Amino acid sequence: MTAAWLAAELVLVADRDAAPGAPIRLAASRCSACGRCSFPATGACAWCGAPGSDPVPLSRGTAVAATAVLHRTPGAVVEVPFVVALARFGQAGLDVLGRVPRAADPAAVPAGTPLRVVAESLPDGRLHYAFAVAQ
């Protein structure tokens, strides 16, 4: 058992023992009725309300757009500044928001940049998902 997760339900059970920096998979869901995906995974479909769904792992995406947070916001445990990107996961048809902690500025994550989902250690010791520019 590694450190506690900020929100364990966002990460596949099999990846919850990952070390900081290691690749992980996000736990999205695909609706059995309408076929659309949701993240975070939902019991009932976020779009059509149907109850049944199958798990969908998200591991590799590409940047759609990026910005940065330069000033600390209420409730945040992370240090500023940091880059935030919207990553597109093509097979799931989902765009997901995440931090890119190692990017110096948004220009380092232009649209189309390949991104990988990784475990990130937060300053309070908990783990959370983040994006890393894939080599």
Partner 1 sequence: MSVIIAGVGLHPFGRFPLSVEELARVAATEALADSGVAYADVDLTIVANVGEGMAKAQRIAGRLGATGRPVISVESACASGAAALLAGRDAIESGRAEVVLCLGVEKTPRGFIAGAGFEPWQEASGLGVTPVYFALQAQELLAATGGTVQDLAAVSVKNHGHGVLNPNAMYRSPVTAEQVLQSKMVCPPLTLLMLCAPNEGAAAVVLMSAGQAGRRSITRPVTVRAVALATRSPGDWFVPAPSRLSQVRSSPTLTAAAAAYQEAGLGPNDLDLVECQDTDAASELIAYADLRLCAPGDEVKLLRSGDTRIGGRIPVNPSGGLLSKGEPLGASGLGQVHELVVQLRGQAGHRQVSGARAGLAHVMGAGHVSAVTILAAA
Exactly one of 7, 22, 44, 50 binds partner 1 (CB under 8 A); that residue is: 7
Exactly one of 39, 56, 103, 132 binds partner 1 (CB under 8 A); that residue is: 39
Q: How far apart are the first and last CA of the chain?
A: 29
User: Nearest Cα to 89, choosing from 120, 70, 108, 116?
Assistant: 116
Closest approach, Cβ 7 to partner 1, in A, equals: 4
Exactly one of 22, 32, 104, 105 binds partner 1 (CB under 8 A); that residue is: 105
**Is there binding between residue 66 and partner 1 (CB under 8 A)?**
yes
Give the C-alpha distances (Å, rounded to integers) separating 12 from 20, 77, 86, 127: 15, 23, 20, 13
Exactly one of 95, 108, 121, 133 binds partner 1 (CB under 8 A); that residue is: 95
**Is there binding between residue 18 and partner 1 (CB under 8 A)?**
no
List Cβ neighbours of 87 (8 Å cut-off, separation of 6 or more). Answer: 61, 62, 63, 64, 95, 96, 97, 98, 115, 131
H-helix segments, the chain: none
- Which 115-134 residues touch partner 1, going by CB under 8 A? 122, 128
Please tell me the distance from the alpha carbon of residue 65 to that of residue 70, in angstroms, as a whole number. 17
Which residues make up the interface to partner 1 (CB under 8 A)?
A: 6-7, 10, 28, 36-40, 47, 64-71, 73-78, 80, 82, 84, 86, 88-90, 93-99, 105-106, 111, 122, 128
